[in-house]
Structure 1
Amino acid sequence: MGLPLIALALALETGAGRTAVKLLFIALLSAAAGPVTSMAVGRRAAQEEGLVEKGPPM
């Protein structure tokens, strides 16, 4: 959650322009990718410990 907020603050600080658009794009990507990555890592750890079946989720 920290990176999207920092990128948003930097975009507001730079003002309207190309740099702000790039920073907002980075914020959006990191906000969307963070939960997905956390779920993938958690599922893999649970598979290694035998808490869930190995293989793709259904």
Structure 2
Amino acid sequence: MFNQYEDLLNVEELCEILGVGKNIAYGILNSGEIKAFRTGRIWKIPKIAVEDYILIKSGLKRQ
């Protein structure tokens, strides 16, 4: 899934994948729904964490 992206995503790529704006993306990241980390002010988002988030939200995978 999402083979065109590197293993670590930035917020802009997260927005593209989820089809949401930056405010929603930052809300998801700050809530911890997607496991990610910050290096200084820059969010680093593992692609696998986004895939898990999508599968859980769609009901295809249980937490």
Same fold (TM over 0.5): no
Q: Which has the higher strand share?
A: 2
**TM-score (normalizing by structure 2):** 0.30
Q: Greater relative contact order: 1 or 2 (C-alpha under 8 angstroms, separation 6 or more)?
A: 2
Q: Which has the higher helix share?
A: 1
Whose radius of gyration is greater, 1 or 2? Answer: 1
